[in-house]
């Protein structure tokens, strides 16, 4: 365990959300660290005044982890102002506070900032690096565009802040309602289900991501600078949604062939989904951080099954 400079405080913004809950429950919390979990009732990140009040005790060397976001991808298409207020103005307000206090900021972002990446040879087919996001990038969803605006606003307000992009986050247990819990429910309700098989990404177990973020926070508290970094943190490996659903069925002891593949065109949504958004772990490793384990093992852990190791 990394030894931190004590006493220090880590503020978890979005403490009631999926990732915030995992951060507060993590066993990777460094020793001698005080944790302050802030819910939406405690802080309104869209308001500078609320941020200044909630973080009035923020000190030099403390860490703020921003796990708050407007994550309703489809809902953002019709709630643009709200999405930008939370996903863009919010990180800027937090960054202004951390810059003023000389504290550290970790801001959690998303694979959606890439939109639909393409290469000179056609559709993208290799894990995405932070450097693959062009400066003129225009994500094709309000959600992705608002999160990218948040990354840039944060960097402008606090150049030492760190962006951690992740993807396809799941917990797999109620009361969280995510893709994995939905598949568990549908396995007991339907003989067959149809799931998109032409979108490929990086399934990520919220507790594993939380542990990784605590490792990053501990490194900051110990005095190492990660200033201005943009890194990717997901469980290792890749899958389509159909692959993930079939893996859930298999772990539950059900026939995975009950999950039938379909195309994105057969399952239209208000906001377009990226056909390829696998994130490379190279940037995470380059910061000296421990790679997250393979997603199938994480999924088995989420569902209470023995892992392959």
Q: Which of 11, 84, 112, 143 is catalytic?
A: 143
Please, are residues 223 and 159 in contact by the beta-carbon 8 Å criterion?
Answer: no
Q: Assess whether 143 carries a catalytic annotation.
A: yes
Q: How far is CA 31 from CA 39, 225, 233, 275, in A?
A: 23, 20, 23, 41
On whether the CB atoms of residues 64 and 105 are closer than 8 A, the answer is yes
Which structure tokens are listed for 277?
């958004």
* Residue indicated by tokens 């020793």: 31
- Strand-pairing partners, residue 36, are 11
- The whole-angstrom separation of Cα 295 and Cα 192 is 24
Active site amino acids: 143
């Amino acid at each position: 365990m990394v030894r931190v400079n004590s006493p220090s405080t880590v503020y978890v913004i979005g403490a009631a959300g999926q990732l915030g809950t995992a951060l507060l429950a993590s066993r990777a919390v460094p020793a001698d660290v005080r944790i302050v979990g802030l819910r939406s009732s405690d802080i309104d990140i869209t308001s500078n005044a609320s941020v200044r009040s909630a973080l009035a005790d923020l000190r030099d060397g403390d860490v703020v982890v921003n796990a708050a976001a407007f994550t309703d991808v489809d809902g953002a298409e019709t709630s643009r102002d709200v999405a930008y207020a939370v996903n863009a103005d919010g990180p800027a307000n937090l960054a202004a506070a951390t810059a003023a206090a000389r504290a550290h900021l970790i801001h959690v972002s998303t694979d959606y900032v890439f939109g639909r990446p393409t290469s000179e040879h056609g559709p993208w087919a290799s894990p995405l690096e932070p450097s693959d996001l062009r400066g003129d990038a225009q994500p094709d969803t309000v959600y992705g565009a608002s999160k990218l605006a948040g990354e840039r606003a944060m960097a402008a307000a606090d150049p030492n802040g760190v962006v951690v992009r992740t993807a396809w986050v799941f917990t797999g247990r109620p009361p969280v309602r995510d893709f994995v819990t939905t598949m568990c429910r549908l396995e007991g309700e339907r003989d067959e289900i149809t799931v998109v098989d032409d979108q490929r990404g990086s399934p990520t177990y919220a507790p594993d991501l939380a542990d990784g973020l605590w490792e990053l926070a501990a490194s900051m508290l110990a005095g190492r600078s990660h200033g201005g970094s943009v890194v990717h943190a997901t469980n290792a490996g890749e899958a389509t949604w159909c692959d993930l659903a079939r893996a859930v069925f298999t772990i539950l002891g059900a026939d995975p062939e009950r999950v039938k593949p379909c195309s994105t065109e057969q399952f239209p949504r208000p906001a377009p989904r990226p056909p390829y958004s696998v994130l490379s772990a190279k940037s995470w490793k380059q910061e000296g951080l421990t790679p997250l384990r393979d997603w199938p093992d994480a999924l088995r852990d989420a569902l209470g099954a023995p892992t392959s190791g």
